[in-house]
Every structure is written in structure tokens, then in C-alpha cells.
């Protein structure tokens, strides 16, 4: 029998905040850090706000806004999906799929694709919101799919990697991967780079597979389970691998952060690290929050530390995004934090709402956040020209 931290709504952040002797052996809870005062160096303005409705409080869903460069797409747990004109903030279309959306959207060509809690993959027309197809894949989809002109690829919670035809959702191939007895809630979204699918698994394994047929190109064990208890042996990779050119970057929980050659799987550098969030990058550095929400910048070239910001500990930070000379995180209280990519100092802060930030994306000069209650909010830096 397999267990995971989804049972009964139990969340990773619950364990981290409550101590329980699970992560670091503390018996007394460490509360979230109080927000520190600072002098803002950037002035923010809200560009627009929308809502999908139907929040997913405490479900820790893999829902986050996505963009094709002109529109922003977002879906709520109750099945409502919206398309927003990114520049004007006007609603282009809204549909109610009446499905329990849990992963996505992925925007690929003229498709907007979601996964659901009851094991379906749903594709909508990006121009109209009309349903193009839906297929049953047999397992919860808790991560955003990946799409290209050749295939839509999804990860199911039971360890399967499945490729579907963009035209009609027909299954092209599937591969099965073992799942440990105990896992964190959520899965790492797959990534398509050229003719290759990159996927990470709850066993701490990372692999590259041929997009055409699913054949294994290479696999790497990024972390080896150690310890006496099932909790000690968690080595899930829940964060989306980050593919940039010929380089692949990955981070896992109770495992490693690493740079890998995408073509061969050869490890270029690795350092011990633990995170259940994802990575962001610019030309020089990677940015990530560790399992305690301490923010670290490391060199893409060698993995050496560049700076550390420890002032948001235990605030359950989101996967970051970068824009200009800023790296932006969301937290469990709905705050968005702008940090300098140079030294990690605070540049600006705004409260988008009072619920946890599910995910962020950028489009043009906007940072777009989606919160647990379905609110979607866009901000830009105010320029005094």
C-alpha cells in the first residue's frame, strides 16, 4: 500500500510549520517569519484583476496562470477557465468545464490543456474556449501538462508518463515508473525540449525520453533515499525541471540541486539541497526557495552560492519568476515579494489577496499571480517617465 501527504488534506507546509520532529527534528513549531520593513526601490501598480471563482483552499493544486504572449489563461478547481487579454485586462472568454481541474494550464499552439483530479486531460481551443477533446488517463493529474505540435505529455500521480495526440487526444505512448510508499503532494510537470521529454519522479529519478515513442534516452538518480523512516526517505522531485538551451537544471526535496547536460544526462555540477518549489533563472543565476523558504541564488555555471535571503522563512514561497533585475515570489498570505537579482534585497512588496499564491507567470512587463481563491492579479512596475 502506498501513502502520500495528500491523505486527509495533510500538506507539506503543515508538517513544516508544525515541526513534529519531521524536518530537522524540532519539537516546537517555527512560525512563519514576520514581514520585515524596508524602503521600496520599485513602485508597483495593479494592471488588472480577474477571477476564475471556485478556489482550491488547502488542496495544493498544480494550477498556475499561463500565457501565449497575448493572453493569460487560468483555471479554477471548480472547472471555470478564463482567458484574459494581457495588455488590456479584459476577459476574452470564460467557460465552465464542470471538471475538477488540478494541473495546468499548458498553452500549446491553439490548445489550452488541463489535468483533473478524476484522471482526465482536457483540451480547450485557445481562441474560443470551446472543448476540443477530453480523455481519461486513469490517474490524478496534479501537474501541468507539457505540449508541442507533436504531443501533449502528462504525468499522473501513480507514476505514468503519457503522450497524447494534440489533434484528438489519442494515446501515442505511455511508460510506467515506480512510486514510493510515501510521497509529497503534487508532481513535477514534464518538460518538452525539441524532440525530448524530460520528466522527474517521486523516487528522485530524472529521465529523458523520446517524444516520438517514449523510448528512454537516459535516466539519472538525483537522490538516494536514506534514513530510518519513510519520512526521512522522501526524495521527491516536485519542481518542474528547467531546460535552457543544452542545459537542464533540477531540484528535489531532501536531495540535490543540479545542472545536467540535456543530451547525455551527464551531471555537470550538483549540491545538496532540499526544495519542493521550482527554479527560475536569468543569464547568470538560478533562484529557488528551499524547504524552509530561504531564498538562494546560485551560479548557473558552477552552482556556487551568490546570495541568501533568510527573511521569509516558513512563508511557503511559490516557484519564482524573473523579470528585469527582479526575482518575484508569492507566499501563503497572498503577498508578492520583489527581490533584487544582484543581492537578494527587497525591492517591493504587494498583497494580491489573503490566500496562498498558487503560481506566477510573466508576460511583457507584467507579473501575473493566481491565488487559492481563484483570484488572478497582474502587476507592473510603475515607470515615472
Q: Is the pLDDT of residue 232 over 90?
A: no
Flag whether pLDDT at 285 surpasses 80.
Answer: yes
Q: Under a CB-based contact definition with an 8 Å cutoff, are residues 260 and 247 in contact?
A: yes
pLDDT of residue 28: 59
Alpha helices in the chain (DSSP H): 12-18
The DSSP H or E segment spanning 268 is: strand 267-273
Q: SS3 string of 275-297?
A: CCCCCEECCCEEEEECCCCCEEE
- At residue 59, the pLDDT reads 58
* 71 contacts: CB under 8 Å, gap ≥ 6: 83, 84, 85, 86, 92, 126
Angle CA(49)–CA(289)–CA(75) in degrees, nearest 5? Answer: 30
pLDDT at 184 > cutoff 70: no
pLDDT of 239 higher than 70: yes
pLDDT band at 53 (very low <50, low <70, confident <90, very high): confident
Instruction: Report residue 225's pLDDT band, with 50, 70 and 90 as the boundaries.
Output: low
Q: What is the pLDDT of residues 290-313, one digit of tens each?
A: 999 999 999 999 999 999 999 999
What's the pLDDT score for residue 2?
42
Average pLDDT value for residue range 241-268: 92
Instruction: Write down the pLDDT at residue 378.
Output: 98
pLDDT digits (tens, 9 = 90+) for 77-132: 999 999 999 999 999 999 999 999 999 999 999 999 999 999 999 999 999 999 99
CATH homologous superfamily, domain 32-57+278-316+319-385: YVTN repeat-like/Quinoprotein amine dehydrogenase (2.130.10.10)
**pLDDT value at residue 25:** 43
pLDDT beyond 80 at 54: no
Mean pLDDT of 222-232: 59
All structural domains of the chain with their residue ranges: 32-57+278-316+319-385
User: What's the pLDDT at 11?
Assistant: 38
Q: Which of 206, 237, 209, 210 is nearest to 219 (CA)?
A: 206
Mean of the per-residue pLDDT values of the chain: 88
- pLDDT category, 234, cuts 50, 70, 90? very low
∠ Cα 112 87 110 (to 5°): 20
Kindly indicate the confidence band of residue 55, based on its pLDDT and cuts at 50, 70 and 90.
low
Give the pLDDT confidence of 128-169 residue by residue, as tens digits: 999 999 999 999 999 999 999 999 999 998 889 999 999 999
pLDDT at 23: 38
Residue 12 has pLDDT above 50, yes or no: no
Amino acid at each position: 500500500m502506498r501513502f502520500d501527504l495528500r491523505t486527509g488534506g495533510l500538506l507539506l507546509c503543515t508538517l513544516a510549520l508544525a515541526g513534529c520532529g519531521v524536518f530537522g527534528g524540532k519539537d516546537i513549531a517555527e512560525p512563519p517569519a514576520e514581514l520585515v520593513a524596508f524602503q521600496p526601490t520599485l513602485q508597483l501598480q495593479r494592471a488588472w484583476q480577474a477571477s476564475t471563482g471556485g478556489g482550491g483552499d488547502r488542496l495544493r493544486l498544480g494550477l498556475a496562470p499561463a500565457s501565449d504572449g497575448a493572453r493569460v489563461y487560468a483555471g479554477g478547481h471548480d472547472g471555470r477557465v478564463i482567458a484574459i487579454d494581457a495588455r488590456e485586462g479584459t476577459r476574452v472568454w470564460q467557460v465552465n468545464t464542470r471538471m475538477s481541474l488540478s494541473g495546468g494550464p499548458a498553452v500549446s499552439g491553439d490548445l489550452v490543456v488541463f489535468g483533473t483530479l478524476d484522471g482526465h486531460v482536457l483540451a480547450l481551443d485557445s481562441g474560443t474556449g470551446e472543448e476540443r477533446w477530453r480523455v481519461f488517463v486513469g490517474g490524478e493529474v496534479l501537474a501541468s501538462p507539457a505540449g508541442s505540435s507533436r504531443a501533449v505529455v502528462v504525468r499522473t500521480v501513480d507514476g505514468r508518463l503519457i503522450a497524447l495526440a494534440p489533434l484528438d487526444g489519442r494515446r501515442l505512448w505511455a511508460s510506467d515508473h515506480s512510486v514510493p510508499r510515501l510521497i509529497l503532494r503534487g508532481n513535477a510537470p514534464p518538460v518538452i525540449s525539441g524532440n525530448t521529454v524530460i520528466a522527474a519522479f517521486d523516487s528522485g529519478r530524472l529521465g529523458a525520453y523520446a517524444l516520438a515513442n517514449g523510448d528512454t534516452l537516459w535516466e539519472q538518480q538525483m537522490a538516494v533515499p536514506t534514513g530510518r523512516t519513510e519520512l526521512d526517505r522522501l526524495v521527491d522531485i516536485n519542481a518542474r525541471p528547467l531546460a535552457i538551451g543544452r542545459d537542464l537544471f533540477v531540484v528535489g526535496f531532501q536531495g540535490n540541486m543540479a545542472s545536467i547536460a540535456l543530451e547525455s544526462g551527464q551531471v555537470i555540477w550538483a549540491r545538496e539541497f532540499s526544495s519542493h518549489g521550482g527554479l527560475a533563472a536569468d543569464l547568470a543565476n538560478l533562484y529557488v526557495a528551499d524547504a524552509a523558504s530561504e531564498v538562494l541564488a546560485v551560479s548557473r555555471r558552477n552552482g556556487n552560492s551568490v546570495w541568501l535571503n533568510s527573511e521569509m522563512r516558513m512563508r511557503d514561497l511559490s516557484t519564482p519568476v524573473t523579470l528585469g533585475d527582479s526575482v518575484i515570489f508569492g507566499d501563503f498570505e497572498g503577498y508578492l515579494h520583489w527581490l533584487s537579482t544582484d543581492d537578494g534585497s527587497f525591492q517591493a512588496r504587494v498583497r494580491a489577496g489573503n490566500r496562498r499564491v498558487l503560481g506566477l507567470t510573466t508576460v511583457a512587463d507584467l507579473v501575473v499571480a493566481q491565488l487559492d481563491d481563484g483570484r488572478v492579479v497582474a502587476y507592473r512596475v510603475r515607470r515615472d517617465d
